[in-house]
């Protein structure tokens, strides 16, 4: 039997550096690393899954929540594959 470490996928919003849209990313932690994937274009990055990166993700979420005031369409980023472009 293979014992896996915690691998709880988490969806978070951020601007994708590959497709340039604001999209949902799915981060899948695997021990000390995590795979973060753009649910729109499939761009994938490997992160060191540490407190710093968790804080960064949380912070980006907070910034985008604040931006909802100006860009209500950010609220529509809910399902994997959702993407918007802000001017
Ligand atoms: Zn993308």
pLDDT band at 4 (very low <50, low <70, confident <90, very high): low
Concatenating the DSSP letter of every residue in 36-76 gives: EEETTT--EEEEE-SHHHHHHHHHHHHHHHHHTTT-GGGGG
- Whether 76 is in a domain gets the answer yes
Is 21 part of a structural domain of the chain? yes
pLDDT at 22: 97
What is the count of structural domains for the chain? Answer: 1
Asked whether residue 5 is assigned to any structural domain, the reply reads: no
For 37-47, the pLDDT digits (tens) are: 999 999 999 99
| CA pair distance 32, 51, nearest whole angstrom | 10
What is the distance in A from the centroid of ligand 1 to the CA of 50? 23
Q: Give residue 3 CA to ligand 1 midpoint distance, Å.
A: 32
**Whole-prediction pTM:** 0.87
- Domain hosting 56: range is 10-82
Residue 58 lies in a domain: yes
Helix (H, G, I), strand (E, B) or coil at 79: coil
Q: By three-state DSSP, how is residue 82 classified?
A: coil
Whether 4 maps to a domain, the answer reads no
């Amino acid at each position: 039997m293979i014992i896996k470490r915690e691998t709880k996928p988490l969806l978070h919003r951020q601007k994708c550096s590959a497709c340039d849209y604001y999209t949902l990313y799915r981060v899948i932690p695997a021990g000390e690393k995590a795979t973060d994937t753009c649910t729109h274009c499939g761009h994938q990055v490997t992160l060191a899954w540490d407190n710093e990166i968790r804080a960064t993700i949380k912070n980006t979420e907070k910034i985008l929540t604040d931006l909802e005031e100006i860009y209500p369409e950010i609220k529509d980023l809910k399902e994997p594959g959702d993407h918007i472009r802000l001017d």
